[in-house]
Structure 1
Amino acid sequence: MFPALRFDIADLPEHRRLDGLISAIDECFYPCETLMSSRVLTDDRLTVVDVGPIRAGRVRADPMVVHRTPRLIRRRVGDYLFVPVPLQHKVHLRQRGREAEIDGSCFGFTATAESYSYEQPEKFEMITLRIDADQVRSRVPHVEDLTATGFPALGGAGAMFLDYARSFCINAERLDRPTGMFAVRHLLDLFALAVTSGDHVPGPAESAVREAHRQRILRHVEAHLADPSLSTQSVAQDLRLSDRYIQKLLSEREQTLSGLIRDRRVSEARRLLVDPTNRGRSISTIAFQVGYADPAYFSRVFREAVGLSPRDYRNRERVRPDGDAAGRQAGRRSGLPALPPPGGED
């Protein structure tokens, strides 16, 4: 069975309820600036359950506005996707200049590594998924480009995902480990299918066909990240698209292919540098792994993007306290029971 972390505002005296709820939200999800529309709270409850890389939640709460700010992001408490699924009323998501209104007819998500805002204007009940972002990136490269987007859920892949997500959150606490990890893999696959099916609500400069091509480009970049010859020309040739069309597709999101390749290589290098299994690997080896034949050039690119050399970054991250562990300690200080460290996907 998977243990649950619970919070019920009725367990606290009235003068501690507001601070208690805000602390519980930070502990159950991740640190945010939470503004409640009322200081009189009577029926707010949270339950979360860790099933491998997914934290499934059930929430009843008063109206609120939540901001994930750069100051809080710098605390580096995990890298997640947050998927709210309201069981009544609506929520509003804003990220990367986009806005989506989420209700029973569609779903959306935000990425916690970037600033966003979330608004719930009425008292609400919902289920939530907090998913380790790397688990989704392996299925949907650059999934962050789809945040604060409405994905229809009245049929097709979106409906399948939401039906499964509701059942998963309701039953997570009662699953045995083999069943839970089996369910996690299916949930992640359904989520990936739902956000890449081309069914999302199109914007004025976007169509399902263009988004399908764009996802082909992103997947190709991800699959060939270690190839030093990866370039706009090679991508165009392999995908049988023109250079100009590729750049036009990406410019709609204020991107360039060369910038996208660089950002993904730096991001992957950051991951490899702090991975304990790579402790004995040299900076040059990691440079080759992310497609840089010249380690000196890799170091210059990395420093420009991160502000530290690869070596200094690795040394700094080795001594940084683990964010999730620190969060669990904070939970114990606030009186909430602690969950065990989350496990990875089997």
Structure 2
Amino acid sequence: MPNAPDVSDFRYSTADWAERERLAIFRERIGRMMVKLDPAPLINSPYYSDARVIALHGLGIGFWTFANLRVDRTRELLDGCDDLLMVIGASGNRLVSHRGREQAIGAGEAVLMATAETATMTYPSSSNLISLRVPRKALTPLVRNPEDVLMRPLTPSSEALRLLTRYVRNVDDLYRSASAELQRLVVSHLIDLAALVIGATGDGKVVAEKHGLAAARLAAVKADVGARIGECSLSLTAVAKRQKITPRQIQRLFAGEGTTFSEFVLDQRLARAHGLLVDPRRTGRSISTIAFEAGFGDLSYFNRAFRRRYNARPSDIRIAPRRF
């Protein structure tokens, strides 16, 4: 579906510009005009940056890479925006200066900043980070005093921060083909998770856990299943242990979608088997081999389940492309 007016997706890379024009383009066209930042090399040696910035119904999501750069938000670049900006370290290190404080942010760590105030971030070596810009009015119903948390290290490796990071990284799958209503639901989930990372309390915490946290947990469970779908040993207990939640919690998450963990696993395995059967690179493999690659340990059960799902035998699916 075409993007709604309040959805945009912008990318840049300094590697795409001629060296003699690179700094001017980076500072003027990208820095000052588009992202309201003033970048400059730290030392006289090669520097690099690329980024993808997504605007999604009032929420700003950024995936950034910097190396040998200092990035300033100066007073002249302040645009009246009063959002809160969460910066999450993905790899490498960076130093943040904001509100008279300095804070080093390593991988898996995060800090909250105010976009209405000046700030400086330095990247002496290659560094990847994720940014989440959240409207202040969206957070205040969930977090009593977000101002109190500015420039304080947010709890590293917390479940909420881990799930938020994963959920943001999967944003393509969550919004690209979704309706505007579902896109706003994704935004709501991200705000809930951000509130939990910052420190939602009372009713705000209950609401955020019921919606955003549950959605992110379910997405993490599904990703876990997808990564191991070909393993016959895949089980509810094993997934729960890796995700650090109980099997009962996983069952409740799938019940909320009107299905079960077992039904989801079966659906994913059948879809994988179907994909392998029509893959011309695997025409030399037997159907039993493909069934085992898809995680089925019982060939008879695979054949019965496949026929129920596709109203055809695996062998029929395999020869159909050749007939066509």
TM-score w.r.t. the length of structure 1 is 0.50
Counterpart residue type for residue 19 of structure 2 = E
Which residue is equivalent to 2:53?
48
Which residue is equivalent to 1:5?
10
- 1:145-224 matched pairs, under 5 angstroms: 145-168=148-171, 171=173, 174-176=176-178, 177-196=180-199
1:188-240 per-position Cα deviation (integer Å, ceiling 9, x unaligned) = 01111111159xxxxxxxxxxxxx9xx9xxxxxxxxxxxxxxxxxxxxxxxxx
- 1:80-159 matched pairs, under 5 angstroms: 80-159=83-162
Alpha-carbon distance change, 72 to 3 in structure 1, aligned in 2, over 3 angstroms = closer
1:128-182 per-position Cα deviation (integer Å, ceiling 9, x unaligned) = 22222332234324423211111123233333333323333x5466252332211
1:33-76 per-position Cα deviation (integer Å, ceiling 9, x unaligned) = 33322566575322211111112122223222223333433xx3
Which residue is equivalent to 1:25?
31
Which residue is equivalent to 1:342?
none
Which residue is equivalent to 2:74?
69
Which residue is equivalent to 1:14?
19
Counterpart residue type for residue 160 of structure 2 = A
Separation (CA, whole Å) in 2 of partners of 1:43 and 1:64: 8
Counterpart residue type for residue 104 of structure 1 = A
Which residue is equivalent to 2:313?
none
| RCO comparison, higher one (Cα < 8 Å, 6+) | 1
Which residue is equivalent to 1:34?
39
Separation (CA, whole Å) in 2 of partners of 1:122 and 1:51: 30
Alpha-carbon distance change, 159 to 42 in structure 1, aligned in 2, over 3 angstroms = closer
- 1:221-240 matched pairs, under 5 angstroms: none
- 1:183-332 matched pairs, under 5 angstroms: 183-196=186-199
Provide structure 1 residue ranges, at least 5 long, that are not aligned to the other structure: 199-211, 216-346
User: What is the alpha-carbon root mean square deviation over aligned residues?
Assistant: 2.8
Alpha-carbon distance change, 41 to 172 in structure 1, aligned in 2, over 3 angstroms = farther
Alpha-carbon distance change, 120 to 10 in structure 1, aligned in 2, over 3 angstroms = closer
Say whether the 8 Å CA contact 1:104–1:153 is kept in structure 2: no
Which residue is equivalent to 2:232?
none
Provide structure 2 residue ranges, at least 5 long, that are not aligned to the other structure: 205-324
Separation (CA, whole Å) in 2 of partners of 1:184 and 1:64: 31
Counterpart residue type for residue 174 of structure 1 = R
Counterpart residue type for residue 108 of structure 2 = S
Alpha-carbon distance change, 25 to 142 in structure 1, aligned in 2, over 3 angstroms = farther
2:26 aligns to what SS in structure 1? helix
2:91 aligns to what SS in structure 1? coil
Alpha-carbon distance change, 43 to 97 in structure 1, aligned in 2, over 3 angstroms = closer
Separation (CA, whole Å) in 2 of partners of 1:123 and 1:53: 29
1:151 aligns to what SS in structure 2? coil
1:109 aligns to what SS in structure 2? strand
Separation (CA, whole Å) in 1 of partners of 2:134 and 2:52: 16
**Larger Rg, first or second structure (1 or 2):** 2
Alpha-carbon distance change, 114 to 142 in structure 1, aligned in 2, over 3 angstroms = farther
Separation (CA, whole Å) in 2 of partners of 1:174 and 1:6: 16
Counterpart residue type for residue 176 of structure 2 = R
Per-residue deviation at 1:119?
2.0
Which residue is equivalent to 1:301?
none
1:144 aligns to what SS in structure 2? helix
Separation (CA, whole Å) in 2 of partners of 1:87 and 1:28: 23
Separation (CA, whole Å) in 1 of partners of 2:136 and 2:33: 18
2:107 aligns to what SS in structure 1? coil
